[in-house]
Chain A
Amino acid sequence: MKRESVQAKTKRTDILGESRAKDARGRFAIIPPVAVFTGALVVWEIVVRLRDIPKYVLPAPAAVFAAFAEDAPALAHHSAVTLGETVVGLLISVAVAMITAVLMDAFAKFREAVYPLLVVSQTIPVIVLAPLFIIYLGFGAAPKILTVVLMCYFPIAVNFLDGMRRTDIGLVNLVRSFGAKPLQIYATVKIPMALPSFFSGLRIAATYSIMGAVVGEWLSSDSGLGYYMLRVKNGYQLDRVFATILAIILLSLLMNGIVRLLSSIILKQ
């Protein structure tokens, strides 16, 4: 007995020790990727300068940053348009995903009929559908919002559904035996238990969401980062194309960051 408990104790410290080491590593985990990235930028810059590559073929990082700074007002304007489409699209995705996921969880027949179709639909690249949206929805914000929804719906719905379905059946039965009605089961147990999976789906969706809007803007628009990117591309202003790409990356990171912040607040406990 005694020996066992001593063993248990040592094991415990081992585990703790490991996790502490991980923590310490975690604090510095950002250094290697930043170093690699900076290194790549430096090599890029040197190659462009040494070989005297013209700006319209490949602009150097310094030129890209300069263009980014110079274009800041225009980029800010177009970012706002893209961000607006993205946020609206993402909110619609969340609403539709939550409702359909709850329906799929509640009605097995519905799930069995719809879920395989959803999975197969993911093999269709949204970009090949986007021209159709323009035909049906015109040139306004609607087709862009729809591309965002199509990109974002699936990861949210699937993760949320999965979270609800993995809820401990014992807990569901317990709440039910306490007299919970079906909607109460979702409100008290299933949805709260599925929130962590919901947020991991939302995080993926948020990262892709900007891309969805940009793809929509490529096809038709008179504003937004996708539109601006095409315009500067057509003028062979490659430094500004890269500056736009940088803006798209920053917006995607922003969306991801907002969702992370939101989930860390909501999932505090």
Chain B
Amino acid sequence: MTDLKIENLTFAYDERSEAPIFERLNLTAAPGEFLSILGPSGCGKSTLLNILSGALTSYDGRIAVGGETTRGISSHFACMPQDDLLIPRRNILDNACLYGTLHGKKKEYRAMAMKNMELFGLSGYERAYPSQLSGGMRQRAAFLRTALCPADIMLLDEPFGALDVITRGDMQDWLLSVRGELNRTTILVTHDIDEAIRLSDRILAMKGRPAIFAGEFIPGPKGRQREERLARAPLWEKIYACLQSETR
């Protein structure tokens, strides 16, 4: 388990445009912490994850994993992108064990992937191709691929965005149940306040341009029962108010 530290992150897609996406942004995540980032569309959530995963490198500031500065693509991060990005002419099983294939451990990862197919609601579709699956199934396959990548920190960009409420709830339950097993620092980007409350240890509300963290929340009950859902309501309202207020 590793901690993550972002110091004075400044980034703009176009240097000439007036306002950068981030200006001296700071963020820390404790080892094993599950951190959620909520924020309006276009505020820079995916951009932040792309910077962390190494896809964007032209930033100022420092990113440190376990006290060690990193820049660019590194093995510290396992990323699940917003669009599933499965490889078209590989079946679901092969897509899921991409990490194993790249590191010469295909057999071992195949076995692990097969064991998880049921859990991810993909059993019977191991040999299917991504184009034959529904959007939600593709997302689950992409999630499985990321979960099977043994990096220190998981970056999840809207992992359940394309799922119906019930399936989404099942996947959240699953994620909660395997958190201990995965045992990894996780950053989750989501639009769903309730999801953030259920899953995370800490919630940050991001907004504005340059984006700031406008609020920090420590969530309460995680269950799916009606009472627990209702018990989350006050916090839900608080986060909602924070996202809605002034800037934007």
Name A's B-contacting residues (CB within 8 A).
168-171, 173-180, 184, 188-189, 192-193, 195, 267, 269
Contact B53–A175 (Cβ < 8 Å): no
Closest to A184 in B: B102
Provide a sorted-by-A list of 22 A–B residue pairs whose CB atoms are within 8 angstroms.
A169-B55, A170-B81, A170-B83, A173-B53, A174-B81, A176-B54, A177-B54, A177-B74, A177-B77, A177-B78, A178-B78, A178-B99, A179-B102, A184-B102, A188-B87, A188-B98, A188-B101, A192-B88, A192-B90, A193-B87, A269-B88, A269-B129
Closest to A189 in B: B87
Contact B102–A168 (Cβ < 8 Å): no
| Smallest CB-CB A-B distances: 3 pairs | A173-B55, A269-B129, A171-B85
The answer to the question of B75 belonging to the interface, with a C-beta cut-off of 8 Å to chain A, is yes
Chain B residues closer than 8 Å to A180, beta-carbon distance: 102
Known: A170-B55, A188-B98. A177 touches B89 (CB 8 A): no
Having A171-B87, A174-B85, one finds 20 other A-B pairs with CB under 8 Å, namely A170-B81, A170-B85, A173-B53, A173-B55, A174-B53, A174-B79, A174-B81, A175-B98, A176-B54, A177-B74, A177-B78, A177-B79, A179-B99, A180-B102, A184-B102, A188-B87, A192-B89, A195-B89, A267-B89, A269-B129
Chain B residues closer than 8 Å to A173, beta-carbon distance: 50, 53-55, 73
State the majority secondary structure of interface residues on B. loop
Q: Shortest distance in angstroms between B188's beta carbon and chain A's nearest beta carbon?
A: 17
Q: Shortest distance in angstroms between B145's beta carbon and chain A's nearest beta carbon?
A: 8
Contact A175–B77 (Cβ < 8 Å): no
Closest to B76 in A: A177
Inter-chain CA distance A81–B191, complex, in Å, is 66
Contact B55–A178 (Cβ < 8 Å): no
Q: Which of B86-136 contact A (CB under 8 A)?
A: 87-90, 98-99, 101-103, 129, 131
The answer to the question of B239 belonging to the interface, with a C-beta cut-off of 8 Å to chain A, is no
Centre residue among A170, A178, A189 by max chain B CB count within 10 A: A178
Centre residue among A173, A175, A192 by max chain B CB count within 10 A: A173
Inter-chain CA distance A188–B103, complex, in Å, is 12
Chain B residues closer than 8 Å to A193, beta-carbon distance: 87-88
Inter-chain CA distance A174–B49, complex, in Å, is 12
The answer to the question of B193 belonging to the interface, with a C-beta cut-off of 8 Å to chain A, is no
Inter-chain CA distance A177–B57, complex, in Å, is 13
The answer to the question of B149 belonging to the interface, with a C-beta cut-off of 8 Å to chain A, is yes
CB contact between A269 and one of B83, B103, B131 (< 8 Å): that residue: B131
CB contact between B85 and one of A168, A176, A179, A267 (< 8 Å): that residue: A168
Q: Shortest distance in angstroms between B20's beta carbon and chain A's nearest beta carbon?
A: 21
Chain A residues closer than 8 Å to B81, beta-carbon distance: 170, 174
Contact B88–A178 (Cβ < 8 Å): no
Chain A residues closer than 8 Å to B101, beta-carbon distance: 188
Inter-chain CA distance A179–B90, complex, in Å, is 19
Chain A residues closer than 8 Å to B129, beta-carbon distance: 269
Q: Shortest distance in angstroms between B155's beta carbon and chain A's nearest beta carbon?
A: 9
Contact A269–B54 (Cβ < 8 Å): no
Chain A residues closer than 8 Å to B53, beta-carbon distance: 173-174, 177
Inter-chain CA distance A70–B101, complex, in Å, is 58
Centre residue among B53, B81, B102, B149 by max chain A CB count within 10 A: B102
Q: Which of B31-60 contact A (CB under 8 A)?
A: 50, 53-55
Q: Shortest distance in angstroms between B154's beta carbon and chain A's nearest beta carbon?
A: 12
Contact A192–B99 (Cβ < 8 Å): no
Q: Shortest distance in angstroms between B26's beta carbon and chain A's nearest beta carbon?
A: 23
Contact A176–B98 (Cβ < 8 Å): no
Q: Shortest distance in angstroms between A190's beta carbon and chain B's nearest beta carbon?
A: 11
Contact B149–A178 (Cβ < 8 Å): yes
Chain A residues closer than 8 Å to B75, beta-carbon distance: 177, 179
Interface string of B147-180 (1 = CB under 8 A from A): 0010000000000000000000000000000000
Q: Shortest distance in angstroms between A213's beta carbon and chain B's nearest beta carbon?
A: 33
Chain B residues closer than 8 Å to A179, beta-carbon distance: 75, 99, 102-103
Contact B89–A269 (Cβ < 8 Å): yes
Contact B102–A175 (Cβ < 8 Å): yes
Inter-chain CA distance A175–B89, complex, in Å, is 15
Inter-chain CA distance A170–B54, complex, in Å, is 11
